[in-house]
Chains A and B, each alone.
Chain A
Amino acid sequence: MKNEKTANRFFSLGIIVIIIILTSITGCGPVNPKNINYFKGSDGLVFDFIANYPPYEMYQNTSVIVQAKVHNKGAFNLYDENFYGLLFLNTNKNFIETGEEEETIKQILLKGKSTDFPEGESQTYYMGAIKSKEIGQFESLPTEISLTACYPYRTYFADTVCIDYSEVSGDERMQVCRTHDITAEDQGAPVAVKEVKVNMIPYGTDSSDGKTVYKIKPQFIITIENIGSGNVAKSIYKISDLSLLPPPPNPLSMNEGERAENVKDVAVIEYDVTEICSMISNPPEDYFDYVLVRAKLGNFSLECEPQIVKLKDNEGKIRCSMNEKDMFKGVSNYNSLLIIALDYTYIDTVSSQIKIIRS
């Protein structure tokens, strides 16, 4: 009997030891790093008032503090003197007084989603104190307080495109790839490339080197859309000097250093962010819904028509193709990288109601 009890104890102990060993083995095994695509989502800057700053109710002739939390949930960095955001606090001045301009307008410098900041950077901003005024003989008076963010942003789209000679060569044998249209959802920014229609225009053959090669000129019909909650406005780039714009860098290979290089675009920047954002209240005619489009196929810059597209019902279409001189010459199909960059200013507003109570 005693032996049986001892055997049972040993059996239980053995089971526990086995579980511990198995757990240790599986838990300490090599973990494969996940390859995260940061170019996902439809957000740029996401912002709102912090709860109770301001509160929903306040008495007349009293002051409360306003704070806002801003989060760069997109995949573009707002981090230097050319690319930064602005956050404005607006109130109904008839009933709410705000502090000085330094308090009610804040510069936003936040990095977007990347390996360094997988969720994107976020920060809380103090927007100053607001003071309610007298509301006369009313028991209470609701009024609005709002935050407006204005920031330059860029959408990167990158995908492989098949350079397909089949149509010219008539070669129906198995190839590495075939041309097909691309559809996409979002790219980590409020304006997205939704569709790319690929067309390989045949340009005949070339036998000048004694060997017959086929000539094609790829053409892309690109559909873009404002999928965010705000409004698109024209970019900070100088429109008259579009030819000086460099082709978009490859976002997939960009590290921190390359991102800094990216700022060489400064050569053609026309507007300061503050300048372009100050046009919000009284915008010129060519302000809203304009997006600058640049595209690159392999090492070739593409010519886009129009290069600055005006969105209609939040949607726009652009045709990008290689210029007259450039064309692809070859025999066999292969994949090449298509990069599209969309530049624009994005404006978004959030509002909150405050009830001013007389006493």
Chain B
Amino acid sequence: MAGVNPEEWKNIKNILNRMDIEGIGAKSKNAMGKHFLEQGIKSHEEAMKHLRSEEFRNSQLNNRIKNRVEDHMEKQRANESREQQFLEKREAALREKEEMRENSFRKKIQNQLKSAEDMPGPLKFYINLWSWLDVVGDPAIGLIPVWGDIISFGINFIISLFCVLPYIGLFHWLAVLGILIFDLIVGLIPGVGDILDLIFPGAMASRLYIVKQWENIKKRKQENIMKKGYLGYGKKRKSFSPKNVLIVLIILFIIIVPFARGFNVIAWVLTGEYKEDLDNFFGRTTAESEEIVKDTGLFQRVIDAWKRSWAMTEGDYYTGKVEDTEDEPIGLEIEEIRAIEDFYTTDSKATLWADIHGKTFVDNITVITTCEANKAGKKEKISGKTSPESYTVVYEDTHSVKCEFEENSLEKGYYNVEFNAFFNFETWAYIKYYFVSRETYQSLYYKDINQQLDIPEKSVSVSTPGPVILGLTAKNINQPIYIDPEEDYLPVPFGVTLENNWKSAGSEIKQVDYFIVQVPSELELVDCDRAGPNNEYMEDWGNQDMDLNRMDENYRFYKFENPYFGKEGYSFSSMTCFLKLKGYTEEQKEASMEKLLDQGQKAEKTFVVRVKYKYNLQESETINIKEPFGSE
């Protein structure tokens, strides 16, 4: 074509060939090409746009060409519409298929987790780690009774603290923690927890929550970009602010301390004592069960365990063990309670018998017996009549005690009958402390003083068998103890803690009469926390044991009376004193030290404590009271 750039013309021809308009010959194509050149069209898209425009319809081109083009465009529109419909249908089918394929909860979560790919490293690590553990680890760990769930919770808790908290904020992290605690509590129920772990592990639920939160965070971030035109969260997260750290520490303390220090709650479960309690629990109404749980001391034991753990953490709780002896038990033991009938009627006497075995320790035991019936779900107790009401155990014997409830005193229902044996008793305990001079301690400490001088690292107090254990050493006291005449006090105090050794429900120390503490004669007890403001509750007997009426030059005897003796609602179960070398001047104290060490590098010395107290032993039996025959 004359006057036309051959390159441009070649391009126009390509465009026309690509259009492939039916019924247009070479002549018409040339006309169209010329028209495109006039319009300055350079691409297929521009050409198509132009053919759809009014400008094309009003052009000077032949009407036949215009009609052909119009038909072509119409066909193309129809094709595009069909293709669009087909694509939409196929997409819908695929979506449906995908949804069907991913209908399980786990798959849903796995799918959700894919969106976690743009998470920060630590958060992604947490998600990926637990994705793997879900399949292999968590359900398997959960099969280990009790410990499995605790280990799983512990690992999850610690990792989430460092990997999750900083990214999703304290509030959401606490929510994650809540899910994990729920999982732990459910996991502690044998069987149920394992099944739940397989269907819906707590770790997985927590992850799902984290992913959701992360998506929300991303969304907020997008919104901020749109609204404010900058990248960021809008508000800076302060997960590690002092307030948050404090909250986390408090949570940690509440959760970890009882488990880490005491494990008493777990021990309660592991020892199987809970089974006995749960046996009574099932097969009753909720109200009845609650009452039984209260009566069996289920909650009390958990609370006691917490209290003990707390006291140990504080360092004022002294522990010990019971002496190994072949002649256990000493004190009283309710060997058996027998209801003489399977059930009683309201119009008859309800009679039970208890065999109480007693063995004296130091003094004769005076036993006072009582019995009470407590209807499940009700608070008031109905007293029965015991026979004998009191008796004395001289050395060792077994008494049968009868408990009777008069006719018409008990209504229809289940009753928990409690036998109580209230008696006086005494427990002794000793502990060995090892003393060295300060110079010896300093010189040998870094060379393993315990190994060098053959001294055990810890000393454990040993109590005589009976209802009470006397703890005489705090867990954090290490042996040996150094002594220095220049110091006012020895570096460690001396303390006593009375602990109930018989854990059956209702069995408890009712009242402490007094403690007698024997310390090596070269030492003195001072600044005792239970001696009273003017030491009126402490008697220093010197070398005279006024309780047993004897002299012992190697000991100094102290008596501590119960300041609340005879008063209800007061506790006297622990006392602590400072220890000091005997004497006032440095020379006197030095003389005491030399006597104490007795020319040796170390000195083993024994402390003895005895306590007199009143104890209530309780055992219970369930009886069934029915209406008389024919009256129902």
Interface on A for B, CB 8 Å cutoff?
A: 88, 90, 92-95, 105, 133, 136-141, 143-144, 146, 148, 229-231, 278, 280-285, 287-289, 313-314, 347, 349-351
In Å, the complex CA distance between A229 and B324 comes to 34
A282 with B443, Cβ < 8 A, contacts A90-B603, A349-B602, A351-B454 known: no
- Quick one: given A88-B600, A349-B454, are A138 and B462 in contact (CB under 8 Å)? yes
- In the assembled complex, 24 residue pairs joining A and B whose CB atoms fall closer than 8 Å, in A order, are A93-B554, A93-B598, A94-B520, A94-B554, A94-B606, A105-B599, A137-B464, A138-B430, A139-B327, A140-B323, A141-B430, A141-B606, A144-B604, A146-B454, A146-B600, A148-B600, A229-B452, A231-B443, A280-B599, A282-B439, A313-B446, A313-B447, A349-B454, A349-B600
The distance from the CB of B324 to the nearest CB of chain A, in whole angstroms, is 8
| Option from A137, A229, A285, A349 in Cβ contact (under 8 Å) with B362 | A137
Most interface-central of A90, A93, A288, A347 (chain B CB within 10 A): A93
- 11 other A-B residue contacts (CB within 8 Å) besides A90-B599, A93-B598, A137-B610: A94-B520, A136-B608, A138-B464, A140-B323, A141-B430, A141-B606, A148-B599, A148-B600, A229-B452, A281-B597, A281-B603
Which chain A positions have C-beta within 8 A of B555? 94
List B587-609 residues whose CB lies under 8 Å from chain A.
590, 593-594, 597-606, 608
Q: Are A88 and B599 in contact (CB under 8 A)?
A: yes
- A356 smallest CB distance to B (angstroms): 11
B440 within 8 A of A: yes
CB–CB A92/B454 < 8 A: no
State in angstroms the CA–CA spacing of A93 and B600 once bound together.
12
Question: Which of chain B's residues 541-600 have a Cβ closer than 8 Å to chain A?
Answer: 554-555, 590, 593-594, 597-600
Find chain B residues with CB under 8 A from A284 CB: 439
Residue with the highest number of chain B CB atoms closer than 10 Å, among A137, A141, A280, A289 = A137
Nearest Cβ distance between residue A313 and chain B, in whole angstroms?
A: 7
Instruction: Check B430 against A288 for contact (C-beta < 8 Å).
Output: no
Interchain CB contact under 8 A, B443 and A92:
no
Given A280-B600, A283-B437, A285-B439, A92-B594 contact (CB < 8 Å): no
Q: What is the chain B residue whose CB lies nearest that of A142?
A: B432
Contact A92 B600 (CB under 8 A): no
> 1/0 contact trace for B418-455 toward A, CB 8 Å?
00000000101010100001011001101100001110
Q: How far, in whole Å, are A46 and B600 apart by their CA atoms in the complex?
A: 18
Say if the beta carbon of B361 comes within 8 Å of chain A.
yes
Query: Residue-by-residue, is B378-418 near A (CB-CB < 8 Å gives 1, otherwise 0)?
Result: 00000000000000000000000000000000000000000
Q: Which B residues between 245 and 292 are near A, CB-CB below 8 angstroms?
A: none
A136 touches B428 (CB 8 A): yes
Per the bound structure, the CA–CA distance linking A282 and B485 in Å amounts to 10
CB distance from A93 to the nearest CB of B (A): 5
Selected contact of A287 from candidates B362, B439, B598, CB within 8 Å: B439
Inter-chain contact B606/A281, CB cutoff 8 Å: no
Task: Answer whether residue B325 sits at the interface, using C-beta atoms and an 8 A cutoff.
Answer: yes
Q: B interface, by DSSP: helix, strand, loop or mixed? A: mixed
Q: Which residues of B contact A95 (CB under 8 A)?
A: 606
B residues contacting A by CB (< 8 A) are 323-325, 327, 361-362, 426, 428, 430, 432, 437, 439-440, 443-444, 446-447, 452-454, 462, 464, 520, 554-555, 590, 593-594, 597-606, 608, 610
Is the CB–CB distance between B464 and A92 below 8 Å?
A: no
- The smallest C-beta distance from B582 to any residue of chain A, in angstroms, reads 14
Q: Tell me if A349 and B453 are in contact (CB < 8 A).
A: yes
- Known contacts A94-B520, A138-B464; A281 and B605 CB within 8 A of each other: no
Please give me the 4 A-B residue pairs with the lowest Cβ-Cβ distance, nearest first: A281-B597, A288-B443, A90-B600, A94-B606
CA distance A331 to B323 in the complex (A): 80
The smallest C-beta distance from B538 to any residue of chain A, in angstroms, reads 21
Q: Return chain A residues, CB-CB under 8 Å to B608.
A: 136
Inside 8 A of A148's CB, which chain B residues have their CB?
599-601
Q: Are B598 and A139 in contact (CB under 8 A)?
A: no
Bound CA span A314–B451, Å = 14
CA distance A347 to B437 in the complex (A): 15
Partner of B444, one of A88, A140, A143, A231: A231
B333 to chain A, nearest CB (A): 18
Decide: B603 and A283 in contact? CB cutoff 8 A. no
Compute how far the CA of A285 lies from the CA of B441 in the bound complex, rounded to whole angstroms.
11
Do residues A281 and B432 form an inter-chain contact, with CB atoms below 8 A? no
Whether the pair B325, A281 counts as a contact (CB closer than 8 A) is no
Residues of A within 8 A of B600 (CB): 88, 90, 146, 148, 280-281, 349
Q: CB distance A283 to B440 under 8 Å?
A: yes
Name the residue among A105, A139, A287 with the largest chain B CB count within 10 angstroms: A139
Partner of A137 from B361, B447, B452, B605 at Cβ < 8 Å:
B361
Can you name the residue of chain A whose Cβ is closest to the Cβ of B455?
A351
- The answer to whether A314 touches B447 (Cβ under 8 A) is yes
Given contacts A139-B325, A284-B439, A288-B444, contact A92 B432 (CB under 8 A): yes
Q: Which residues of the partner chain B approach A144 to less than 8 Å between Cβ atoms?
A: 432, 604
Q: Which residues of A contact B604 (CB under 8 A)?
A: 92, 143-144
